[in-house]
Amino acid sequence: MNVLVADDDGVTRLLLSSALSKLGHQVQEAENGRDALALWEREHQRLVISDWVMPDIDGLEFCRKIRAHTSSNLTYVILLTARLGKASYLEAMEAGVDDFIPKPFEKEQLAARVRVAERILGLHENLRIANGDLENRVLERTAELQKALAVKAEFLSRASHELRTPMNHMLGFAQLLEMGDLSRKQEKSVRQILSSGSHLLHLIDRILAVSKTEPDDLSFLKQDQVTESAENSWEKEPLLAGSWSSS
């Protein structure tokens, strides 16, 4: 792992670099906060071990600038400090510091802190990859759904057009019959045919409208409900059996 060590004390940097190299890590050094920030902005090291008190930019401000940077990768920050007390730790944690190592540090303690950092960074990377896979799957499913909706809309549109033609023929013939010399029962039957046909034609029109409308813009269906009860009145008067027989 690439590690950035920031400390204005050359001896401390040497000891840290030596210990981290023995642990198998690549180490880059900076002797103040400004140089450390420039180096991090260029290479985005995953692990930063920084002194609290440094020239130009101290460790807390360095950490704040890292946290303010937009990056999908997590940077784990360990702060070297001789300061003790809950207030100091709380201030550092609010700045975004992940862990602490007291000065002077012990090699075993440093190794343990670095292992924790590796574990957390590994978990974060796994989570980032899993989220990326999930986003890709959502995009794929969305594309499939949009394709299915398009096919459905095309089918409904064609079916509606195919249904309108014979229904218009039926209504036309019924209107011709209505113009003839009919008995009262026959007139009533023709009116029922016209009413039923008009109702079915209206339903076909609604199906066609749904197929051409976005899913979030179906307000016209609610408006149609106001007149639907009146249009369904034909259901209360069933067709009379044998109504076409001579009276």
- Strand 26-30 to strand 47-51: parallel, antiparallel, or no bridges (unpaired)? unpaired
CATH topology for the 146-236 domain:
Helix Hairpins (1.10.287)
Question: Smallest Cα–Cα separation from 73: which of 27, 19, 128?
Answer: 128
| pLDDT band at residue 143 using 50, 70 and 90 as cut-offs | confident
Q: Which helix (H) or strand (E) covers residue 79, if one does?
A: strand 76-81
End-to-end Cα spacing for the chain: 100
Task: Show Cβ contacts of residue 224 under 8 Å, excluding neighbours closer than 6 positions.
Answer: 202, 206
Q: Where do you find CATH 3.40.50.2300 in the chain?
A: 2-105
Q: Is the pLDDT of residue 167 over 50?
A: yes
Q: What is the CATH code for 2-105?
A: 3.40.50.2300
pLDDT tens by residue, 177-211: 888 788 888 888 888 888 888 888 787 777 777 66
Q: Where do you find CATH 1.10.287 in the chain?
A: 146-236
pTM exceeds cut of 0.75: no
Higher pLDDT, 226 or 148: 148
Mean pLDDT of the chain: 81
pLDDT at res. 185 = 84
